Structure 1
Amino acid sequence: MQSIVNTSSKVLLNYFKGDRETVENRLRNMVDVRDVADALVLAYENPEASGRYICSSHPLKVSDMINILKTLYPSYPYPKNFVETDGNITCSSEKLQKLGWTFRAIEETLRDSVESYKAFGILN
């Protein structure tokens, strides 16, 4: 892990702080970095690959993400209220999936992220 917490990790870590009771319930397009690496190798090694690919596996509302995290890590002080937002954008990885790309379950990605943050002392 790098010495500075990246922006994507900061977004997730903010939900563990408990300093905000209300958060925007926006749609987040998530992807595991390991799945991105797999997608790159697949595209490089597949002669049928051409053009650009979107690599996004889990469009997920913040409230759904927090519910998963609550199930995995119930002792953290998560936000309790959600404000719905407009203008949510989703991305499709259908073209990449047609090449054979698959992605991890969101529970695995979230669990492994939290365990990584704990191992590096970023999260108690």
Structure 2
Amino acid sequence: MCILVDVRDVANAHIQAFEIPAASGRYCMVAKVIHYFEVFKILHKLYPTFNLLEKCEDDKPLLPAYKISQDKAKSLGISFVHLEVSLRDTMESFKDYGFLTI
């Protein structure tokens, strides 16, 4: 399992927490809880020529994903970046900086 959030959402949450007087306490910034294999499936769909895993190493069924409440983060006006957008933007950034050649 991996817990994902776009860094732009985290930065926005910091700004909102600073600017909104009613903001207090801790905010759990989790856009999505997903299996690593599901991330690879999305990346494979976005970049079919990139050499990624086609299946998990073992045949064990994936554990059910759990959900973490976004209510408090959304009270700051946070609207989480969609996972596919975040993954695509990350890969494009890696390409732009020469970390990947796809």
> What percent identity do the matched residue pairs reach?
36
Q: How many residues matched?
A: 97
d(CA) in 2 for partners of 1:78, 1:64: 12
Q: Is 1:29–1:91's contact at 8 Å kept on the other side of the alignment? A: no
- Segments of structure 2 that go 5 or more residues without pairing to the other structure are none
d(CA) in 2 for partners of 1:52, 1:32: 18
Match among 40, 58, 63 for residue 66 of structure 1: 40
Aligned counterpart, 1:15: none
Deviation at 1:76, TM superposition (A): 1.2
Match among 15, 26, 46 for residue 20 of structure 2: 46
- Segments of structure 1 that go 5 or more residues without pairing to the other structure are 1-26
Deviation at 1:90, TM superposition (A): 5.4
Normalised to the residue count of structure 1, the TM-score between the two structures is 0.70
d(CA) in 2 for partners of 1:47, 1:105: 28
| 1:5-30 Cα deviation digits (max 9, x unpaired) | xxxxxxxxxxxxxxxxxxxxxx1111
| 1:25-79 Cα deviation digits (max 9, x unpaired) | xx11111111111111111111111111111111111121111111110001111
d(CA) in 2 for partners of 1:101, 1:113: 20
Q: How does 1:9-88 map to 2 (within 5 A)?
A: 27-82=1-56, 83=58, 84=60
Taking only aligned residues, the RMSD between alpha carbons, in angstroms, comes to: 1.8
d(CA) in 2 for partners of 1:98, 1:45: 13
The answer to whether 1:93 aligns with 2:70 is yes
Structure ranking higher in strand proportion: 1
